[in-house]
Structure 1
Amino acid sequence: MIKGNSNRFQIIKVVAEEPESGYIAAYARVSSREQALHTHALEQQLERLKVAGATLIIYEVQKGKKDDRPGLLYTMSLVREKKISEVVVTRLDRLGRTVPLIRKNIAVFQETEVNLRVLDQLIDLKTPQGMFTINLLASLAEMEVDQLSERVRHGKQHSRNQNAACACVPFGYRVEGIDYQLDQVPFLCLLDQRPENYQELSEESDITKLPGITVAQLARNCIDIFLTTKGLSKAVRVISQKYGIGRCHSKKNGNDKIFHWTPAGLKRWLLNAVLQGHTVYNQRRITPTGQRKQNSPEDWDIRLNTHTSDRLLTEQEAEEIKQIIEFNASHLGAALLNYDASNPDTYSPYAYLRSLVYCAECRSKAISKSRESTDRKRRYSYYACRHVHKGCNNLKGTRKELIETAIISHLLQQSVALQSTDLNTPPQPIGSVPTKSEKLQKLEARLSKLEEITDTDPELQGLKQKTRQQIQEELNPFSARALESRSVKEIIQAGNNLVIWHTLSADDRVLIYPRLIDHVTIRNGSVESVVLKD
């Protein structure tokens, strides 16, 4: 006895009691939920199958090119186990839209001697003409799908020639005509900003009277939270605490306007080029079996600056987000981030050392450890070889503060050495406060002359702002903006005094040291070498 059941993928309906000759099973399928809910396609299939004598009906909402449709797999399992005497479908493409898939299923019917009836094409495997007709119609069905795919490709190419926005938009955007635009629709999601009378406002029909922010503002706030927390999971936690986001299974893309993030989803959204003002095509492809696969970024078709007035991210912010995600991905482990609310740094003090420290004995990557002092008043953090007592003779760990001191000392020595080879810059003694460079003096003189001009011309004001930024980059050689344009040699040369290195925050070290250091080797409690990048 086959029992009826239902789930979100397939529905099995028992129409009549099991006859002596076994159930006559029917399989029905529609391609989309819209067809199932807003048309009579599914209803008509079910009625025709019932009239055709089906006593067990299996139906589902799935695309025909997929091989792993649960309803079809279940139907074919009944055929293999000979629990049914016959299968009825309305059209041959219900069994699949590719010749190999249809022939594979037909072979099962032939092996088990379970009959197949196709109503529209008057196919019956019991007749001599059945097999011939099936092969012919399967080929025609595949040709029809190929022609449809070709028409879709031509339509997509026409849209790309116009730099048109894609139908699926990231959260924070909407499509107006063929253009991306920031979504200014109010989004009432204010857990920590709700008014005292929020329960009364729940009955308000005029949305303009309700407090709230727009979808675009909400999206920008998510970006700011990530740039502050510098961690995907941590950002999702803060967003959830602020806006009261619950777990949700229905989110498919930005079009559904459901505000729900997972760390993986937030990562994909932050790295979406649409947020930077660009349009991207060919990010995914459809395989012959109907599955969606991600293309390599080298194969993407990127159209730059298609909606610069509606961007959520600047180029500098996009680069910073990319660096944060790449750093966190390559430096996984406990205590990467700082969770002390009183400490303004996002990263823990020695987070920058992750993936940089190696054992000088066996050349394997060292691991971070900690232990308490004998009086239990202090906790020491150190790096040790992961193969200690397993064949490696590097038995003693090296304290993290000693590694940091060795790195700073090496960088200072390199800075002095670079200065001695630069004829335009006199060498500075280690630990001294550097004098103003010739470039800084020229920039300050230029700004002084520009400030004397009181004209409000926008170009003049822009030149003043640019000069101020250049001065700040010279005064602070380790600012994020300055690091973008400097080589490793220039960064090291700029760090020519002890004060600069010791006043760096934990977040600054994460930004700077991995750019300069290739690796550090340790042996029995001391640093053996510090190797810089080229």
Structure 2
Amino acid sequence: MKVYGYARVSTQEQAEEFDALNQQIARLETAGATQVLIDIESGRSDARKQFNRLLKLVEQNQVREIIITRVDRLGRSVMTIHKAMEIFVKHQVNLRVLDAPVDPNSPFGWFSINQMSGLAEFESRLLSQRVKQGNEYFRQQLKFCVPPFGYSKDENQRLTPNRDIHRKSGKTYFELAGEIVDLVLEMRSLKDVCDYIYTEYDVVFSVSGLRDWLNNLALQGHTAYFMKPKPGVNREPIINFHTHPALITPTTLEAIHRKLSANRKYRSSNNSSRGRYPLAGLIKCAHCRGSMYRNISRHRTRTEYMRCVNYSKPGQYSCENSKCVRLREIIAQTIAELCKNAPKLIEHLENQLQQQSLVTQVQNSKQLEKLSHELSVLQGLGSANPDIIHAIAKIESTINQLSTPLPVIDRDGLENAKRKIAIASQPTFWQSLDDEELQCFLAEFVEAVEVDSQGAIAVVWKLYYFGF
């Protein structure tokens, strides 16, 4: 069992500019952490990947001690910290807080940690309230965060046309933005516009970015907030009309919408099968780690190819992987890798079972030694006190229970996983599946399939599923 450290900062800015994350990591390693898990996310979130991984490791009895710099690194919610503490105590994991040494197993330590977690949540709620009030004042003043291309901010942080000169074109940024709008109406597609303005002016736009820019209300002279809905947040958009000079007139806007609608109608289909194919969303580029999209040839064979989404992006965003790889070849190689590696995966599962049983026996032996010592002390008293006799009987019962090692993992689940791998290692099994079934089964085993510029693939298995 290892000694883990856990470090967390809320933003990337804290990690990079203020070096807060590196400071935490250095302190944790100095304190004896053999591995440090890191999250860059708000402590109010329960979806922190490494934090949840730490809890899972604790539940699998792979952790002896956890080291943190402060209690609020575990979270900014009383409930989150309380649940984590319950898991630590249940699995006899020692928690070491460098800035406030307490023993969570003692009543005083438990009280102290709950006080500190309450203070952490209080600070978080107070900060959230101040930010909310500041944002409300910001919107009342019609201020803008990040101006769209063609605009800048004046001394009052409001939008105004950007009159700075663009070096390559010799035009102001506002004039250049107007020219881009004209190009959208003149040229065949948004991709053609993106390629043209990058070649002529070194202005970088992706197709989706250009589409979002055209639909930005700021280009119509309006200052708007909350235009993009967020999951779980129900808030009406706020639109302040005619707050600054417009780049796009209503007539031009209508023409742009007609053009975008015509392009969408040309490219789309009522029977779209996007995402309805084996390994959908799992195929990644080995060079840029970006996704790969499916393209279907117009030939009567309708061959499906996978290609990196970044291959055609301009400038620094471009990926060197321009290889088109047949989807069926990727699927076939993935299945072949699964069949080839099935014995190794099953061996890992068996080793995992043995290791967990050994961990259980070691833990039970420590408890048995402690209880046996307590039992000998009580029996040595030779007392007729009913309470002492009852305590002796209870300890004896506990010793009997611990004498038989109890499984700490889901053996049935791992045995079921072994059976699935054994079945999946048979090529005839895969030949009997249709595309929908293939998609379902492959997603159960595969985390990602990386494809390089030579068409070679590397399969990343769902290691957590296999238990190692």
So what's the TM-score if we normalise by structure 1? 0.45
User: Aligned partners of 1:51 and 1:169: how far apart in 2?
Assistant: 45
Partner amino acid, structure 1, of 2:221? G
- Residues 1:319 and 1:67: Cα distance change in structure 2 (over 3 Å): farther
Unpaired stretches in structure 1, ≥5 consecutive residues: 1-21, 191-210, 245-258, 286-291, 335-368, 372-534
SS in structure 2 opposite 1:147? helix
| Aligned residue among 272, 276, 300 for 2:237 | 300
Q: Is residue 315 of structure 1 aligned with residue 250 of structure 2?
A: yes
Q: Deviations over 1:195-245 (max 9, x none)?
A: xxxxxxxxxxxxxxxx6444334333322221223643443344445456x
Number of aligned residue pairs: give it.
271
| Aligned residue among 215, 235, 247 for 2:193 | 235
Q: Deviations over 1:22-48 (max 9, x none)?
A: 422111122233322332433432333
- Residues 1:185 and 1:124: Cα distance change in structure 2 (over 3 Å): farther
User: Aligned partners of 1:127 and 1:260: how far apart in 2?
Assistant: 60
2:146 maps to 168
- Residues 1:135 and 1:328: Cα distance change in structure 2 (over 3 Å): farther
Partner amino acid, structure 1, of 2:256? I
User: Aligned partners of 1:187 and 1:173: how far apart in 2?
Assistant: 13
SS in structure 1 opposite 2:149? coil
User: Aligned partners of 1:117 and 1:23: how far apart in 2?
Assistant: 14
| Aligned residue among 61, 66, 69 for 2:40 | 61
User: Aligned partners of 1:283 and 1:123: how far apart in 2?
Assistant: 47
User: Aligned partners of 2:33 and 2:248: how far apart in 1?
Assistant: 58
- Do the aligned residues in 1 keep the contact of 2:219 with 2:247 (CA within 8 Å)? yes
- Do the aligned residues in 2 keep the contact of 1:97 with 1:145 (CA within 8 Å)? yes
Q: Is residue 119 of structure 1 aligned with residue 94 of structure 2?
A: no
SS in structure 2 opposite 1:280? strand
- Residues 1:137 and 1:295: Cα distance change in structure 2 (over 3 Å): closer
Residues 465-484 of structure 1 mapped to structure 2, 5 A cutoff: none
1:225 maps to 183
User: Aligned partners of 1:266 and 1:328: how far apart in 2?
Assistant: 14
2:74 maps to 95
- Do the aligned residues in 2 keep the contact of 1:231 with 1:328 (CA within 8 Å)? yes
Unpaired stretches in structure 2, ≥5 consecutive residues: 270-297, 301-468
Larger Rg: 1
User: Aligned partners of 1:74 and 1:212: how far apart in 2?
Assistant: 54
2:108 maps to 129
| Aligned residue among 243, 260, 263 for 1:325 | 260
Deviation at 1:166, TM superposition (A): 2.0
Deviation at 1:280, TM superposition (A): 0.6
Higher percent of residues as helix: 2
2:321 maps to none
User: Aligned partners of 1:232 and 1:293: how far apart in 2?
Assistant: 29
Q: Is residue 85 of structure 1 aligned with residue 20 of structure 2?
A: no
1:362 maps to none
Partner amino acid, structure 1, of 2:184? F
2:351 maps to none
- Do the aligned residues in 1 keep the contact of 2:197 with 2:204 (CA within 8 Å)? no
Q: Deviations over 1:315-334 (max 9, x none)?
A: 22223323433454455438
| Aligned residue among 20, 23, 27 for 1:48 | 27
Partner amino acid, structure 1, of 2:74? L
User: Aligned partners of 2:82 and 2:106: how far apart in 1?
Assistant: 17
Partner amino acid, structure 1, of 2:240? R
Residues 513-532 of structure 1 mapped to structure 2, 5 A cutoff: none
User: Aligned partners of 1:234 and 1:307: how far apart in 2?
Assistant: 30
Q: Deviations over 1:76-128 (max 9, x none)?
A: 34323332211111122212223343334334323432222223343332333
Q: Deviations over 1:38-87 (max 9, x none)?
A: 32433432333234332322334333333333433443343233322111
SS in structure 2 opposite 1:261? coil
Partner amino acid, structure 2, of 1:306? T
Deviation at 1:304, TM superposition (A): 0.5
Partner amino acid, structure 1, of 2:212? R
User: What is the aligned-residue RMSD (CA, Å)?
Assistant: 3.3
SS in structure 1 opposite 2:3? strand
Residues 81-480 of structure 1 mapped to structure 2, 5 A cutoff: 81-163=60-142, 165-176=143-154, 177-188=156-167, 212-229=170-187, 231-243=189-201, 259-284=203-228, 293=231, 299-308=236-245, 311-329=246-264, 332-333=267-268
- Residues 1:225 and 1:66: Cα distance change in structure 2 (over 3 Å): farther
- Report percent identity of matched pairs: 34
- Residues 1:180 and 1:77: Cα distance change in structure 2 (over 3 Å): same
Q: Which runs of 4+ in 1 moved over 6 A?
A: none
User: Aligned partners of 1:82 and 1:239: how far apart in 2?
Assistant: 57
User: Aligned partners of 2:163 and 2:205: how far apart in 1?
Assistant: 20
- Do the aligned residues in 2 keep the contact of 1:275 with 1:312 (CA within 8 Å)? yes
- Do the aligned residues in 1 keep the contact of 2:65 with 2:95 (CA within 8 Å)? yes
- Do the aligned residues in 1 keep the contact of 2:89 with 2:105 (CA within 8 Å)? no
- Residues 1:91 and 1:304: Cα distance change in structure 2 (over 3 Å): same
- Do the aligned residues in 2 keep the contact of 1:282 with 1:295 (CA within 8 Å)? no
Partner amino acid, structure 1, of 2:66? V
- Do the aligned residues in 1 keep the contact of 2:153 with 2:160 (CA within 8 Å)? yes
Q: Deviations over 1:256-298 (max 9, x none)?
A: xxx532222222211111111110123357xxxxxx54978x8
User: Aligned partners of 1:170 and 1:216: how far apart in 2?
Assistant: 10
Partner amino acid, structure 2, of 1:262? S
Partner amino acid, structure 1, of 2:182? D
User: Aligned partners of 1:184 and 1:80: how far apart in 2?
Assistant: 60
- Do the aligned residues in 2 keep the contact of 1:284 with 1:294 (CA within 8 Å)? no
- Do the aligned residues in 1 keep the contact of 2:194 with 2:204 (CA within 8 Å)? no
- Do the aligned residues in 2 keep the contact of 1:225 with 1:238 (CA within 8 Å)? no
So what's the TM-score if we normalise by structure 2? 0.51
